[in-house]
C-alpha cells in the first residue's frame, strides 16, 4: 500500500469524526459531541491499511469503551505496518458546546514504539515553528525565551506574539511576557489546535508556553515535528499515584526534559486534523441543503515535510461512515 493511500486514509478518519461531531455545534452538550466524534473515528479506522494500536486515546478500557489505550484499530492484515496511533476525536469539547472557534478532530500516527505513551496528567510545554528552532529552553525564564525567539525570527520583542491558555497558573507567563513588551494572546481550550498554529507564520502566533494535558502534548509534538519546528516538555505529576502511573508506562525519570525526539521518536510520522468549528487554520464543517458536508483538513508527513490542505465534499446519503 502506497504511503499516499495511508495518508488519505488518515484524513478520512478525522473527517468522519468532524462531520459527526459538528452536528452538535452550539447545542451545549459536550458529551454527545465527543461521543459522536469517537463513533465516527472508530468506524473510519476500519478502512485504515495498518495494524494499529491506540497508545493515546480516550482512556483505559474500563473508562473508555471505544478508542481506549491498547485497542487494536485498522484493517490489521499481516502484510500491513504496525503503527502507534494517538487520537483526540474532539480537541475542544467546551468549544463545540459553545459554538466557539478552533474545535478540531486530530490523529497522529507513527511506527510501533515511536510515540511517547503519555499518561493522562499535566505537562509543561513550550513550542515554536521552524523559524525559531533552537531558540527555546524550557528551563529558562519567560523573558529569556521571548527574547531568544524574537531574535531568531528577526523581530522586535514588541512584534512577538506569545499564546497562553487563560488559566490562573499561567498568570506569571502573561505578566513576564507583557513586562518586556511582547504581545500575549489568550485562549480558553484546545492545546493541539493552538500549538499547531505555531507552525504557520500566517497564524500570527510565534511562541506557545504553558501547562496542559500530556496526551495532547504528544499529538501536538507530532505536528510540530512534521513542520520542522521544536517543542520541549516536562511531565508534571501531582501525586504519588501519578508518578507510579508514569513508571508503569515506561517513564522512569518524570523530571526529565523531553525534547521533540523524546516525544516523537521516529522521523517518519503522520499527522492529520479536520476543523469542526471555524478556526485559525481550518474552516469548520458546513452542511448544504442537498445533504452534502464540506470539510477542511490538514495532513502532513515528517519524512517528506509536505503539508497538504484538503477540502472534502461528502455526500451524506451514500455512506453510513460519512467518509
Q: What is the pLDDT of residues 113-138, one digit of tens each?
A: 999 988 888 999 999 999 999 999 99
pLDDT per residue over 66-94, tens digit each? 898 899 999 999 999 999 999 999 999 99
**Which residue reads 515535510 in cell numbers?**
305
Res 109: pLDDT: 96
The whole-number average pLDDT for the span 216-237 is: 95
Res 63: pLDDT: 64
Residue 320: band (very low, low, confident or very high) from pLDDT cuts 50, 70, 90:
low
The whole-number average pLDDT for the span 41-46 is: 94
Q: Provide the grid cell at 105.
A: 478532530
4-8, 204-208, 230-234, 262-266: range with lowest mean pLDDT: 4-8
Q: Is 34 annotated as a binding residue?
A: yes
Res 307: pLDDT: 94
In the chain, which residue ranges form alpha helices assigned H by DSSP? Answer: 3-22, 30-45, 93-98, 142-152, 171-179, 191-197, 214-226, 240-248, 260-263
Res 323: pLDDT: 47
Average pLDDT, the chain: 91
Give the 3-state secondary structure of residue 170.
Answer: helix
Distance separating alpha carbons of residues 216 and 212, to the nearest angstrom: 8
DSSP character for 242? H
Of the chain, the percentage scoring pLDDT greater than 90 comes to 76
Residue 316 CB contacts under 8 Å (≥ 6 apart), including other chains: 19, 291, 292, 293, 322
Q: Is 91 annotated as a binding residue?
A: yes
Q: Is 171 annotated as a binding residue?
A: no
Residue 62: band (very low, low, confident or very high) from pLDDT cuts 50, 70, 90:
low
The whole-number average pLDDT for the span 238-251 is: 77
Domains 6-112+268-315 and 122-263 share a fold: no
Residue 276: band (very low, low, confident or very high) from pLDDT cuts 50, 70, 90:
very high
Q: How many C-beta atoms lie closer than 10 Å to residue 7's C-beta?
A: 20
Torsion angle (degrees, nearest 10) of CA 28, 33, 35, 40: 170
- In this prediction the pTM is 0.92
Residue 245: band (very low, low, confident or very high) from pLDDT cuts 50, 70, 90:
confident
The whole-number average pLDDT for the span 199-205 is: 91
Beta strands (DSSP E) in the chain are 51-56, 72-73, 82-91, 104-111, 122-128, 161-165, 183-187, 207-213, 230-236, 270-275, 286-287, 292-301, 307-315
Q: Is 216 annotated as a binding residue?
A: yes
Domain ranges in the chain are 6-112+268-315, 122-263
Residue 319, pLDDT above cutoff 70: no
Q: Is 29 annotated as a binding residue?
A: no
Count of residues in the chain:
323
Res 316: pLDDT: 85
CATH top-level class of 122-263: alpha beta
* CATH for the stretch 6-112+268-315: 3.30.540.10
Residue 226, pLDDT above cutoff 60: yes
Residue 1: band (very low, low, confident or very high) from pLDDT cuts 50, 70, 90:
very low
User: Could you give the angle at which helices 3-22 and 30-45 cross, rounded to 10 degrees?
Assistant: 150
The whole-number average pLDDT for the span 141-152 is: 98
Res 298: pLDDT: 97
The whole-number average pLDDT for the span 181-192 is: 94
Determine whether 171 is exposed, middle or buried from the number of CB atoms within 10 Å of its CB (0-12, 13-18, 19+): exposed
Amino acid at each position: 500500500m502506497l504511503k499516499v493511500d495511508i495518508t488519505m486514509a488518515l484524513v478520512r478518519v478525522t473527517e468522519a469524526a468532524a462531520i459527526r461531531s459538528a452536528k452538535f455545534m452550539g447545542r451545549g452538550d459536550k458529551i454527545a459531541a465527543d461521543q459522536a466524534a469517537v463513533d465516527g473515528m472508530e468506524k473510519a479506522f476500519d478502512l485504515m491499511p495498518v495494524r494499529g494500536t491506540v497508545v493515546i486515546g480516550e482512556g483505559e478500557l474500563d473508562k473508555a469503551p471505544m478508542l481506549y489505550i491498547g485497542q487494536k484499530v485498522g484493517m490489521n492484515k499481516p502484510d500491513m505496518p504496525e503503527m502507534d496511533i494517538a487520537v483526540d476525536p474532539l480537541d475542544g469539547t467546551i468549544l463545540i458546546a459553545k459554538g466557539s472557534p478552533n474545535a478540531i478532530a486530530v490523529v497522529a500516527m507513527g511506527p510501533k514504539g515511536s510515540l511517547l505513551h503519555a499518561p493522562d496528567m499535566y505537562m509543561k510545554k513550550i513550542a515554536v515553528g521552524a523559524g525559531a528552532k533552537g531558540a527555546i529552553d524550557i528551563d529558562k525564564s519567560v523573558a529569556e525565551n521571548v527574547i531568544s525567539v524574537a531574535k531568531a525570527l528577526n523581530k522586535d520583542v514588541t512584534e512577538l506574539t506569545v499564546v497562553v491558555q487563560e488559566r490562573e497558573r499561567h498568570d506569571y507567563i502573561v505578566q513576564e511576557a507583557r513586562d518586556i513588551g511582547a504581545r500575549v494572546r489568550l485562549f480558553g481550550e484546545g492545546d493541539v489546535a493552538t500549538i499547531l498554529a505555531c507552525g504557520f507564520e500566517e497564524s500570527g502566533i510565534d511562541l506557545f508556553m504553558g501547562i496542559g494535558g500530556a496526551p495532547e502534548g504528544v499529538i501536538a509534538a507530532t505536528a510540530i515535528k512534521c513542520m520542522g519546528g521544536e517543542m520541549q516538555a516536562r511531565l508534571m505529576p501531582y501525586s504519588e499515584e501519578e508518578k507510579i502511573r508514569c513508571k508503569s508506562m515506561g517513564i522512569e525519570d518524570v523530571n526529565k526534559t523531553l525534547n521533540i525526539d523524546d516525544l516523537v521518536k521516529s522521523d517518519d510520522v503522520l499527522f492529520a486534523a479536520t476543523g469542526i468549528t471555524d478556526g485559525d487554520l481550518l474552516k469548520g464543517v458546513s452542511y448544504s441543503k442537498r445533504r452534502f458536508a464540506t470539510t477542511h483538513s490538514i495532513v502532513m508527513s515528517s519524512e517528506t515535510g509536505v503539508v497538504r490542505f484538503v477540502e472534502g465534499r461528502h455526500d451524506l446519503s451514500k455512506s453510513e461512515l460519512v467518509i
